Amino acid sequence: MKIEEEISQPKFRNATQKALINVIFTSHWILDKQQSFFKPFGITSQQFNILRILRGQYPQGISGATLKARMMDKNSDVSRLLDRLEVKELIEKRLCPSDKRATDIFITQKGLDVLAELDKNQTEFDAILALTDSEAMLLSELLDKARG
């Protein structure tokens, strides 16, 4: 469905305004789909992002500050997200051996298992964008260009 129909706005000031509104609308649409995808696994998209980063570090850990810097959502309350993941036993916090004031974060086997289950269904989620591979590459390149 066209953006004009989605938001019941037949006119835009210019093509740039239309593109910006479309990107924002589509971003929210994807996030909504993503939340629905993660719900059966008991995690949020931000928690998934943390688990994905930690899996990339596995078996090593990562500091909370480094984790926050690598998050897609830079405004995330990482401490709160980590606390919730720890309660679910998906991550483990350990004192940093070189700096006893710092904590390193590690993914647990249970966290790896959740990601393995998600991986089995990832193709289903990827299909929400009704784009060919070449269209997806073009979109990605245009979004990179838009950010400068």
* Mean pLDDT, rounded, for 27-31: 94
For the chain, what are the domain ranges? 42-146
Name the pLDDT band for 123 (thresholds 50, 70, 90).
confident
Whether pLDDT at 104 is above 90: yes
Name the pLDDT band for 110 (thresholds 50, 70, 90).
very high
Is residue 57 helix, strand or coil? Answer: helix
Among 76-80, 86-90, 113-117, the minimum mean pLDDT is found in 76-80
Whether pLDDT at 99 is above 90: no
% pLDDT > 70, the chain: 100
List the structure tokens of 70.
């690598």
Whether pLDDT at 20 is above 90: yes
Q: Work out the burial of residue 100: count CB atoms within 10 Å of its CB; fewer than 13 is exposed, 13-18 middle, 19 or more buried.
A: exposed
CATH number of 42-146: 1.10.10.10
Residue for token pair 């500091």: 63
| Contacts of 118-122 spanning 24+ positions with Cβ under 8 A | 118/38, 118/41, 118/48, 121/37
Q: How far apart are CA 89 and CA 116, in angstroms?
A: 16
* Mean pLDDT, rounded, for 23-44: 95
Instruction: Note the pLDDT of residue 107.
Output: 98
Instruction: Note the pLDDT of residue 100.
Output: 80
Alpha helices in the chain (DSSP H): 3-6, 15-38, 45-57, 64-70, 78-87, 109-126, 133-146
Name the pLDDT band for 102 (thresholds 50, 70, 90).
confident
Q: Which of these, 70, 108, 66, 69, lies nearest to 87 by C-alpha position? A: 108
